[in-house]
Chains A and B, each alone.
Chain A
Amino acid sequence: MTSPISTSRVSGMLRDALRSRLIWPVLALVALLVTNVIKSPGFLSIRIQDGHLFGSLIDILRNGAPIVLVALGMTLVIATRGIDLSVGAVVAISGAFALSIVGDAPDPNDLGVVLFAVGASLVFALVLGSWNGFLVSVLGIQPIIATLILMTAGRGIAMLITEGQILTVSSAPYKVIGGGYWFALPASIIIAAALFILVAVLTRKTALGMLIESVGINPEASRLAGVSSRVIIWTVYTFSAVCAAIAGLMISSNVTAADANSAGLWIEMDAILAVVLGGTSLAGGRYSLTGTLIGAFVIQTLTTTVYSVGIAPEITLVFKALVVIAVCLLQSPRVRGFSGRSHRTPPPVAGVAAGASTPAPSPSMPAAQTKATM
């Protein structure tokens, strides 16, 4: 015999799950995985070969690592009500810069040279990112325009570095970043996971995440409340560029080539899509790192699925567009209004009606509090 309380709790949980912003991207991811399993039953299997893990899921994780990294930086930028269009250009620049250093060295296989190249291109990315941050936070230029400058000029800079050629360099230590294995797992997965955990801990276990959200919700109010919004905005753009640079190193290392034109082409769009699919609003404020992770994997799994189902890979873009449209429509306020209208409790407006002297406790207050603690 089920008591009415437990059934209402179950239905409440179901309702909460349905109202969660993450439900649609998670469902999309599950649907894609199920499609793959139906198409090829061995899709989920992971086998060990030469001490390394192999399998379609590992491939998705490995190929998705650059998108996850770029989207990670993008999430924080979008949370401050910004956007970073220049990440694709930074991906191209960092790959070109690192490979040109490695290629010019007398011994490309020297570990020291590779570490120097990686360090140098990360420092270059720091400079590029702080340039974006400077334009946005100090000069107050709209983020979309400020980063458009580097997006336009960036590929030109990358071509300047590669002198218009596609650099190909074979260097064993450099190859590890994007194609190597650590502890049986592809190194790129471990790098991306480490950075993700670092950001999650830094922003969720300290006040940093809250400060970022407050800047995104109202920069002026948070500045008046003592939040140094200028420093925070500057930091997120710099961090975004560094993330993009690491992704650029991965991509160039995976193919052992730096192509200034096509490396990271449209990765800014993929990253923004991942963030939006993950339920973070482009209007800033509340952000979800888990959502971004799921969004990035939805995009990567979609690409893999198109390949495995046997649709011509060129048509991936059509499917990407359809998924984006579907998820955006499902997340839009109008559609969400149909499902969850009755559950939304209006915020209590205590003090306004009762006057300034003695704010009477609003009757809706306790209800709102129990709702919040549930």
Chain B
Amino acid sequence: MSATTDARRTSGDSSPRLPQPKVPVRGLRRFDRFVPNSRYTSVLVTLALLIATFGVGSMRYRGFFSGQVVLNLFIDNAFLIVLAVGMTFVILTGGIDLSVGSVVALSTMIAASLLRSGWSPPSVIVVVLVVGTTLGLLVGLVIYYFDVQPFIATLAAMFLARGLCYVISTNSISITDPFFVEMANARIPLGPGLRISPSVLVALAVVIIAFLVLHYTRTGRTVYAIGTGTQSAMLMGLPVRRTKIVVYAISGLCSAIAGVLFTFYTLSGYSLTAVGMELDAIAAVVIGGTLLTGGSGFVLGSVLGVLVLGVIQTIISFEGTLSSWWTRIVIGALLLVFILLQRVLTPRRR
């Protein structure tokens, strides 16, 4: 069949990414020719959904269709974008990281308590980043050396990080440090009436770096290779062991960065903050078209996923009469739609 030979030919060229096995589900084969390149399809569908939900919002609400609403999506979700980027790395290798929400909470607690005891802001940020990365690194080492499943190891890390928050303090600590307050209130003008916060720049920098790492470095290609098939990656002589550990360290680092951005956003440290944020991150990654089995997906897709979640929240706040719990139900429904979509677009893999 021509579709399969086409797929084989395109996968044979020297594309930077590893080729995906492109065997369409039986019965859907005849639809395959309408799908130009199914590697990008789910991302394109997410983009279409983003435009559609934004369009619906613009038509229904006065003042929704404005540049600042779009920029607010980035301002309000900068930390979630960074989290989703880290999660994308882990999920691409076929793993999962449940600890990210707790690490965000731990980061806010460490930052708030160190600032209260008079540390300078740069050293505080360095400490937070080092702690997050170390925790991620330890999780990676445990997963690799002791063959513990990622689900259980990151679950233990989630409990550990959350518990350490309580060890630091059970009360909310507010931040009065001038630098942090400045970062929270600063707005960078982009044009008439358009402003972004410094956090957005940090988040975009993380996205760009992650994109470059995933697509233009050996580590990035190994990440995709592990997700497609750990055995074959090992047989190809790729550094599977190192990459698997590094991926969790990256996720820990991203969680710590997200934690710092979250303190810029809330100006406080609190043990019970960011409960369930790991679910938002996973949902964003899935809606962004990354396969939870690993091997297929893009960082930019995850960013789109975060923006979709943000648009839904904005619509619900514009509606006013809708209660906040509808957000969760809508996110659940969206997850379902995208998972079914992935099921249709991609072959069953063992």
Determine chain B's interface SS by DSSP, over half rule. Answer: helix
Q: Is the CB of B152 within 8 A of A146?
A: no
Contact with A along B323-349 (1 / 0, CB 8 A): 111111101110110011001000010
Q: Is the CB of B160 within 8 A of A317?
A: yes
A-B pair number, CB within 8 angstroms: 128
Q: How far is the CA of A316 from the CA of B170 in the complex (A)?
A: 13
Stretch at the interface among B41-49, B81-89, B142-150, B219-227: B142-150
User: Assuming the A-B contacts A149-B339, A153-B328, A334-B147, are A276 and B160 also in contact, with contact meaning beta carbons closer than 8 angstroms in the complex?
Assistant: no
**Residue B293 at the chain A interface, CB threshold 8 Å:** yes
Identify which of A144, A164, A321, A335 contacts B156 (C-beta below 8 A).
A321
Shortest Cβ gap from A322 to chain B (Å): 8
**Residue A21 at the chain B interface, CB threshold 8 Å:** no
Shortest Cβ gap from B308 to chain A (Å): 14
Cβ contacts under 8 Å, B204 to chain A: none
Identify which of A149, A154, A273, A321 contacts B336 (C-beta below 8 A).
A149
Closest to A156 in B: B328
Q: How far is the CA of A42 from the CA of B86 in the complex (A)?
A: 50
Shortest Cβ gap from A281 to chain B (Å): 9
Identify which of A144, A156, A272, A324 contacts B329 (C-beta below 8 A).
A156
Q: Is the CB of B152 within 8 A of A282?
A: yes
Shortest Cβ gap from B131 to chain A (Å): 15
Cβ contacts under 8 Å, B61 to chain A: none
Closest to A328 in B: B148
**Residue B40 at the chain A interface, CB threshold 8 Å:** no
Tell me which residues from 136 to 160 in chain A have a Cβ below 8 Å from any Cβ of chain B.
139-142, 144-146, 148-157, 159-160
Closest to B282 in A: A148
Q: How far is the CA of A315 from the CA of B162 in the complex (A)?
A: 9
Question: How many residues on B have C-beta within 8 angstroms of the other chain's C-beta atoms?
Answer: 46
Identify which of B156, B162, B292, B329 contacts A160 (C-beta below 8 A).
B329
Between A146, A160, A314, the greatest number of chain B beta carbons within 10 A of the residue's beta carbon is seen for A314
**Residue A19 at the chain B interface, CB threshold 8 Å:** no
Cβ contacts under 8 Å, B166 to chain A: 312, 314-315, 317-318
Closest to B292 in A: A145
Q: How far is the CA of A273 from the CA of B343 in the complex (A)?
A: 30
User: Assuming the A-B contacts A139-B340, A317-B159, are A159 and B167 also in contact, with contact meaning beta carbons closer than 8 angstroms in the complex?
Assistant: no
List residues of B whose CB falls within 8 A of some A CB.
Answer: 96, 142, 145-149, 151-153, 155-160, 162-164, 166-167, 170, 271, 275, 279, 282-283, 286, 292-293, 323-329, 331-333, 335-336, 339-340, 343, 348
For this complex, 9 residue pairs linking A to B, each with C-beta atoms less than 8 Å apart, are: A141-B340, A144-B96, A145-B286, A148-B283, A151-B279, A152-B335, A315-B163, A315-B166, A324-B156
